Structure 1
Amino acid sequence: MLKFTSRKHSRVNAVRNRSKPAPGRCRLVRALRENLDWGRLRITAIAVMFCMLWAAIWGRAWYLQMINGPRLSERAHRQHMLSELVSGRRGAIYDRNGLVLARSVEARSVYAKPKEIEDFRVTANTLGPVLGMDPQKLYDDLSKTKRHFVWLKRKVDDYTAEAVRKAGLTGIGFSREYDRFYPFKHLAGQLLGFVGLDDKGLEGIERSMEARLGCIPTRQIVQRDAMGRRFYLHEAGQAEPHGQDLTLTLDVQMQFFAEQAVARAAQEYDARWSGALVVDVTTGDILAWAQFPFFNPNSYKEFRPLIYRNRLAADALEPGSTFKPFVMAAALQEHKITPGSLIDCENGKWEAKNFTIHDTSNHGVLPAAKVLRYSSNIGMAKIGNTLGVPTFYRYLHSLGFGERTRVPVSESRGILHIPRDWSEVDVMSTSFGQSISVTGLQMAQAYLTLLNRGVYKPLRLITDEKNLEEPHKRIFSDKTSREVMQMMRDVVQENDGTGKRARIDGVAMAGKTGTAQKADHRAGAYGNKRLASFVGFLPADNPRYLIFVMVDEPGHGQFGGVLAAPIFREIASRVLAYTGILSAANTVVQDKSQTGAAPDEQRRRGFKPSGQVMPGLVGKVNEVHREQDMQLPGHLAKVADRVPDVMGKSVRNAVELFARAGIMPELKGAGARVVRQSPQPGTAWPADAGKADYILWLSES
């Protein structure tokens, strides 16, 4: 019987037949399944995979190291290493006792990288109030500039830097710089000078000693982390450059005495300016360099150039009668006169050819010694006329007039005409301190030579300078010097001397008064303005200290014996008490009957404020702003009994607190805040600790 099937069914059966393995093949598969070690197979497969992966990794490493390595290395170096120009810390300035007069403190300057700023308006509105800048102007400057780097504000204070840091603005960063800090504020301000934003000395010692205090910037490679923060890790040969420290011959205490005295003089006499120099005769060291109105180099931008001008070295003025001892010494040295030689002083008025000379008092015939005591212009003109122009010029030039001294300050040469330009009038007027211009520094130098028994001795302002590098010439004999010093002693010690107001009971004093007319350049003649001065030394028999005082254009009074001599006595009294030569308890700084001032107090860590009102900054004292009290410098005001707690404070505030005790701590680390201190807060000040015994550790946070 025939069966008919569909074509579809036949195809399905065919497929089924084809899918069935042959009997032999099935047996082979079953045998493989039974004999195959699947665990071993899996391990082998994994091992092969790892080998292939390992080979791929090594291949990639080989490619990165050998083919692409140099390019990647250069990119890494640029990312993690930074080449920067390091200016370094400027050298510090100390007084002779190790107190810091000037020091560089780490500061932060704010800069912007406009290309990295995301939102200029937000950045300007945030930084404007913090930096004290107009937000609109700041926005315009940042958004329109094509520069990659822009300074926003240099050397900001610690609080401003912290506020900018907390803002966390992209494209805004900090640069580490150094800010110059003067712990004693106005103390010796004109002498020290100041530095500019670029840490270069612009005036005073800071400028004249720039080669020593400053340092040549060096380019260094500095490592930084992934956040761009710098690691200041100084390896061998990579130490941060720094300037050399400088120690001056100044004594902070004596400087304070002199400054307080000249400030009082300017106030009481309504003077244009006043100044004083104190010199150690035995060494030539300048112990005090005081000038008023005061100048605070911490805020030099607030002062006019006339205030920070160092007048004691830069202003050449006619000296007046303080010049007469040199003329007397030259005449004695040349044997033109003797101390007993009689000089006719013409009863106060002498008409010689085409000019007339006047004295402030009327005297007839006087011995040469009394000519100096009474400060007779007529007598000195006659004595000077005996010298002759070449001899006269030779002595003045040998004393240093017309030349700069060796003191490293910016100074004037003064005016000393060459002999062929002298007339008879010039000879006579120069004999009593006219027709010649000198600086206060030159006068101190000349008197130092006279007090050094006639042997030239240079003044010294830097302690490591040597005065014995070359033999010093003798200008006057020992006998001549002693004779002139005796005459100057009579000026002070005798009741009829012009310098009797400079006396101190129990101490032999000597000196010379000076009252110089000032020329009116518009009128072409001498005017009504005066320069009152006094130069003195003590003790008279064996000089230890030389003090020179100047009061320029006083509004009340004009004579050096009345104005400058009491200022000399005030400074001398305190110097004697400070050095132990005279008991402070028995020393009266000023005669109450003359000045109305109270007696001085005994010396302690510092002197108490006088409570007087101080003049301001420019012009006459009665025309300028006055401060509430006389501000004592640094450690002379508000001295803490124990070590203050400065942890968490800014560097500047911490240093100021220590400076009030006359101590400049050593700073370690980098940052704007103090995180640790030694000794611990509250401990007593060590009596004999040096500056290295006080350490402050700094950090950014």
Structure 2
Amino acid sequence: MRPGSSLSTRTARGSSSRRLHANQRRPSEPRGGRKTGGRLDWQTLRFQIAAGLFAVIWVVLWGRAFYVQLVMGPELAEQAMRQHTYTELVEARRGTIYDRNDQVLARSVQVRSVYANPREIRDPVHTALTLAPILGLDAASLQKQLEKDRSFIWVSRKIDDATASAVRRAALPGIGLSREYERVYPFKHLAGQLLGFVGLDNVGLEGVERSFNELLAGTSRKNVVQRDGTGRGFYTDSASAAQGKDLHLTLDVQIQFIAEEVIAEAVREAEAKWGGVLISDVESGEILAWAQYPFFNPNTFRLSTPAEYRNHLAADALEPGSTLKPFLMAAALEEKIVTPDTVFYCENGTWRTNKIVIGDDGRAYKDLPVSKLLTYSSNIGMAKLALEVGAQTYRTYLTRLGFGQRTGIGVGESRGILHPLQDWREVNLMSAGFGQSLSVTGIQMLQAWTTLANGGLFRPLRLVRDESGREHQASQRVFSARTANEVMRMLIDVVDGDGTGTRARIPGIRVAGKTGTAQKADPHGKNGYGEKRLASFGGIVPADNPRYVIWVMLDEPTTVTYGGKLAAPVFQKVASRVLAYGGYLPGVVFATADGAPGTASSSRPARAAKPSKVKAGASPDVTGMSLRRAMERFALAGAVPEVRGDGLTVFRQQPAPGEALEKDGSPRPCIVWMSREAYEEDIRKAEQQAAAQAVETAQAAAVPAPRQEKASSVQPGKTEAEKKDSSTGSPRQKTGTGRQSAQAAARTGTSAR
């Protein structure tokens, strides 16, 4: 046995003995939770609890991740997109509207609008108090708007540049400026009802703006803008809006201005409800003027009522009255039912039928030839003529002239009222003969009158110059040229003869026209008509070579109700100025007793001779020309003349044609006299001034000045015969020298202005 073996054996036995005693002392102690001196093993317990918590948290996190990624994923992705990007509407610039001479009638200008993002506004009270005075808004109301839980609201739309600068300087968080376009009408009320207007969202609401909205508006686009950490955009998609196309109308601003000025004066004087003037070019069918009063300014459409911006000339269907008679006459002549010499008995001014009583407004006519029915505007004669023509034939011609249907010019218009053939009774046919029992619009009447002026050839009216297809539409013949010419002769007699349209006469111009005074329907009046009237006039100038058709109408005048007294003068004023503007005035020829040119004027219109070439620095020959052409020729020569008097053509000019415009290096006075009265007034003033100067000279010298010396002192360059006449004291020469000296003074520009 080894020496150490007994010791190790004893040690092992001692350890086993101790474990046995220990087990005997703790028979019920659990194996996993030992106690040491009566205490738990907390280290083990903490480990177990931490492990359990980690397991629970791990499960919760995985569950949350599952919910966020799979259940809430699409919604959160959309929120992230809204936070980091936003959509910006790039508004298309609306097309510009021009007249025939490229004058701007309507255009869009870039403006700014104020918007807010309430979620980015930290202090709504401060923001509202700062912003409200700048924009002219109520602070309390603005504060309520800014406190809404929204990401975008409009604060103020389309503000001016000064206001936009003030908003920009305020630098308020959550307040921004966006770009928009505002519609501007440079000529204000000019053709206001025809042009219409657009709303805040750049959409046409009335007139041409509405009818051609698709063409003018263009296509707006939405661009995506990314935000940085502060919410500011730093990238914009490069896509741009498709801009609107421009629109060229057939209107002429100058002619439109003339028509509006004259009709406004007439409506005010007649105290009418409204009035209008339409002008067309016979050859092309283009509408040159569309004037209506009271005016409407599209720039301030929010301040106007629907009645003010209503386009009466296209939307109102009214009974035309006697201005429809020429078309019944043309139908009767075309169908060879009558001849100009056919005679109708006009019942001494009153015709009592089984249905109605027809009168001629107190004028008692007996036998009248067809050629005089329009001249005297006999309702009885035209009613009998309508019975001869018949309902079917008359209605067919009215339909071919465009009545009962829209003209298709491109604006909102009424069809009018043309009853179906089966509804035409004898009484309807008779009243339709003098323009009652059917309703038409102003633009329909212009179309019919233009057809008559065009030799009976129907050509659709045009309002848009570049309107595809319409300008090439085939013309249709309604009346033969022979019939149209025969009716034109009757209409000339209405004005230039002893008819009802004498107030439409223009000196030197042949005018064809017809007056109209229509009763307006009233369900409470006698026989369905009341006391209100529509006064109208349709005219063609020049009648022997038609250039313009002018339609005038005044609704419900109170001071004067007859078309011949009210509408005819409007036509005369408009036509005179339009002819002067277009250079279609007659060349006035004077004749003496022996037939040589001198004193009497021709009554037939004639174009002025072809003007000579303008030479720079020399006075052009403008005598007999319109003011417009005279100004143009002086401008080409390098001078601007002074205009004196009112007239249609230049009566006299200074310097004389061919004379130099400068003398000794200084410009000479240039004057054009538009009337004989203005010229003679200047002569009279020059005579007075010459006489006064002579008296002053005589008083200063204290010696009476000889009469012949005064004459020679103001009139150098006299011939020997003139000097001899002056020395012999010829009364004729003395009178002449005074006038010649005045003329000399007028030519040198010394007369009083």
User: Is the contact made by 1:585 and 1:602 (CA closer than 8 Å) also made in structure 2?
Assistant: no
User: Is the contact made by 2:524 and 2:530 (CA closer than 8 Å) also made in structure 1?
Assistant: no
Per-residue deviation at 1:229? 7.0
CA distance in structure 2 between the aligned counterparts of 1:223 and 1:584, rounded to whole angstroms: 73
Alpha carbons of structure 1 residues 337 and 175: separation in structure 2 relative to 1, 3 Å: same
Q: How high is the TM-score relative to the length of structure 1?
A: 0.70
CA distance in structure 1 between the aligned counterparts of 2:439 and 2:465, rounded to whole angstroms: 29
Aligned-residue CA RMSD in angstroms? 2.5
CA distance in structure 1 between the aligned counterparts of 2:288 and 2:572, rounded to whole angstroms: 16
CA distance in structure 1 between the aligned counterparts of 2:157 and 2:587, rounded to whole angstroms: 48
Per-residue deviation at 1:158? 1.6
Per-residue deviation at 1:216? 2.3
In structure 2, what residue type is equivalent to 1:407?
Answer: I
The corresponding residue for 2:197 is 194
Per-residue deviation at 1:339? 1.0
CA distance in structure 2 between the aligned counterparts of 1:273 and 1:367, rounded to whole angstroms: 37
User: Is the contact made by 1:577 and 1:584 (CA closer than 8 Å) also made in structure 2?
Assistant: no
Answer with 575-584 or 543-552: which moved more. 575-584
Are 2:103 and 1:102 aligned?
no
- Written as runs of structure 1 = structure 2, the 5 A alignment for 1:265-280 is 265-280=266-281
- Written as runs of structure 1 = structure 2, the 5 A alignment for 1:570-585 is 570-582=573-585
Q: Pick from 96, 106, 119 the counterpart of residue 92 of structure 1.
A: 96
Which ranges in structure 2 are unaligned for 5 or more consecutive residues? 1-77, 590-625, 633-641, 643-753
Per-residue deviation at 1:175? 1.3
The corresponding residue for 2:346 is 345
**Any idea what the Cα deviations from partners look like across 1:297-335, whole Å, max 9, x if unmatched?**
000000000000000000000000000001100111111
The corresponding residue for 1:23 is none
CA distance in structure 1 between the aligned counterparts of 2:145 and 2:499, rounded to whole angstroms: 70
Q: Pick from 484, 494, 499 the counterpart of residue 491 of structure 1.
A: 494
User: Is the contact made by 2:495 and 2:503 (CA closer than 8 Å) also made in structure 1?
Assistant: yes
Which structure is richer in relative contact order (CA contacts within 8 A, separation 6 or more)? Answer: 1
In structure 2, what residue type is equivalent to 1:463?
Answer: R
Q: Pick from 135, 138, 163 the counterpart of residue 134 of structure 1.
A: 138
In structure 1, what residue type is equivalent to 2:421?
Answer: P
User: Is the contact made by 2:251 and 2:289 (CA closer than 8 Å) also made in structure 1?
Assistant: yes
Alpha carbons of structure 1 residues 223 and 260: separation in structure 2 relative to 1, 3 Å: farther
Answer with 386-395 or 576-585: which moved more. 576-585
Per-residue deviation at 1:469? 3.3
Secondary structure of 2:477 counterpart = coil
The corresponding residue for 2:53 is none
CA distance in structure 2 between the aligned counterparts of 1:232 and 1:506, rounded to whole angstroms: 71
CA distance in structure 2 between the aligned counterparts of 1:167 and 1:490, rounded to whole angstroms: 74
The corresponding residue for 1:324 is 325
The corresponding residue for 1:381 is 383
The corresponding residue for 1:247 is 248
The corresponding residue for 2:429 is 427
The corresponding residue for 1:204 is 207
- Written as runs of structure 1 = structure 2, the 5 A alignment for 1:534-545 is 534-545=537-548
Alpha carbons of structure 1 residues 439 and 197: separation in structure 2 relative to 1, 3 Å: same
Alpha carbons of structure 1 residues 469 and 126: separation in structure 2 relative to 1, 3 Å: same
**Any idea what the Cα deviations from partners look like across 1:347-385, whole Å, max 9, x if unmatched?**
110011121100022211111110000100000000011
Alpha carbons of structure 1 residues 471 and 583: separation in structure 2 relative to 1, 3 Å: closer
User: Is the contact made by 1:93 and 1:248 (CA closer than 8 Å) also made in structure 2?
Assistant: yes
CA distance in structure 1 between the aligned counterparts of 2:232 and 2:286, rounded to whole angstroms: 48
Alpha carbons of structure 1 residues 123 and 530: separation in structure 2 relative to 1, 3 Å: same
- Written as runs of structure 1 = structure 2, the 5 A alignment for 1:534-613 is 534-582=537-585, 602-603=627-628
Alpha carbons of structure 1 residues 224 and 528: separation in structure 2 relative to 1, 3 Å: same
Secondary structure of 1:556 counterpart = coil
Secondary structure of 2:319 counterpart = coil
Per-residue deviation at 1:481? 0.6
Seq. identity, %: 57
Alpha carbons of structure 1 residues 233 and 152: separation in structure 2 relative to 1, 3 Å: closer
User: Is the contact made by 2:500 and 2:564 (CA closer than 8 Å) also made in structure 1?
Assistant: yes
In structure 2, what residue type is equivalent to 1:98?
Answer: D
User: Is the contact made by 2:220 and 2:241 (CA closer than 8 Å) also made in structure 1?
Assistant: no
CA distance in structure 1 between the aligned counterparts of 2:472 and 2:496, rounded to whole angstroms: 38
The corresponding residue for 1:596 is none
User: Is the contact made by 2:221 and 2:240 (CA closer than 8 Å) also made in structure 1?
Assistant: no
Secondary structure of 1:543 counterpart = coil
- Written as runs of structure 1 = structure 2, the 5 A alignment for 1:463-474 is 463-465=465-467, 466-467=469-470, 469-474=472-477
Are 2:125 and 1:117 aligned?
no
Per-residue deviation at 1:522? 3.8
The corresponding residue for 2:258 is 257
Answer with 242-251 or 350-359: which moved more. 350-359
Alpha carbons of structure 1 residues 176 and 583: separation in structure 2 relative to 1, 3 Å: farther
Secondary structure of 1:521 counterpart = strand
In structure 2, what residue type is equivalent to 1:91?
Answer: G
User: Is the contact made by 2:519 and 2:532 (CA closer than 8 Å) also made in structure 1?
Assistant: yes
Q: Pick from 158, 167, 170 the counterpart of residue 167 of structure 1.
A: 170
User: Is the contact made by 2:536 and 2:552 (CA closer than 8 Å) also made in structure 1?
Assistant: yes
Which ranges in structure 1 are unaligned for 5 or more consecutive residues? 1-73, 587-600, 609-701
Alpha carbons of structure 1 residues 234 and 294: separation in structure 2 relative to 1, 3 Å: farther
- Written as runs of structure 1 = structure 2, the 5 A alignment for 1:301-700 is 301-360=302-361, 361-465=363-467, 466-467=469-470, 469-494=472-497, 496-523=498-525, 525-582=528-585, 602-603=627-628
**Any idea what the Cα deviations from partners look like across 1:372-427, whole Å, max 9, x if unmatched?**
00100000000011111211111111111000002000000000000100110000
The corresponding residue for 1:55 is none
The corresponding residue for 1:637 is none
CA distance in structure 2 between the aligned counterparts of 1:227 and 1:468, rounded to whole angstroms: 58
CA distance in structure 1 between the aligned counterparts of 2:106 and 2:254, rounded to whole angstroms: 16
Alpha carbons of structure 1 residues 453 and 234: separation in structure 2 relative to 1, 3 Å: farther
**Any idea what the Cα deviations from partners look like across 1:240-280, whole Å, max 9, x if unmatched?**
32111000000000000000011000111111101000100
In structure 2, what residue type is equivalent to 1:390?
Answer: Q
In structure 2, what residue type is equivalent to 1:431?
Answer: G
Per-residue deviation at 1:581? 1.5
User: Is the contact made by 2:535 and 2:561 (CA closer than 8 Å) also made in structure 1?
Assistant: yes
The corresponding residue for 1:295 is 296
CA distance in structure 1 between the aligned counterparts of 2:224 and 2:410, rounded to whole angstroms: 36
CA distance in structure 2 between the aligned counterparts of 1:252 and 1:369, rounded to whole angstroms: 39
Per-residue deviation at 1:220? 2.9
Are 2:155 and 1:152 aligned?
yes
Q: Pick from 179, 184, 203 the counterpart of residue 176 of structure 1.
A: 179
**Any idea what the Cα deviations from partners look like across 1:81-122, whole Å, max 9, x if unmatched?**
754222210011000000100000001111111011111111
In structure 2, what residue type is equivalent to 1:99?
Answer: Q
Alpha carbons of structure 1 residues 183 and 234: separation in structure 2 relative to 1, 3 Å: farther
Secondary structure of 1:380 counterpart = helix
Larger Rg: 2
Per-residue deviation at 1:163? 1.5
Per-residue deviation at 1:168? 1.1
CA distance in structure 2 between the aligned counterparts of 1:567 and 1:228, rounded to whole angstroms: 65
CA distance in structure 1 between the aligned counterparts of 2:187 and 2:195, rounded to whole angstroms: 11
The corresponding residue for 1:50 is none
Q: How high is the TM-score relative to the length of structure 2?
A: 0.66
CA distance in structure 1 between the aligned counterparts of 2:319 and 2:328, rounded to whole angstroms: 15
Answer with 267-276 or 121-130: which moved more. 121-130
In structure 1, what residue type is equivalent to 2:394?
Answer: F
In structure 2, what residue type is equivalent to 1:342?
Answer: V
User: Is the contact made by 1:549 and 1:567 (CA closer than 8 Å) also made in structure 2?
Assistant: yes
CA distance in structure 2 between the aligned counterparts of 1:177 and 1:127, rounded to whole angstroms: 20
User: Is the contact made by 1:110 and 1:153 (CA closer than 8 Å) also made in structure 2?
Assistant: yes
Q: How many equivalent residue pairs? A: 516
User: Is the contact made by 1:578 and 1:584 (CA closer than 8 Å) also made in structure 2?
Assistant: no
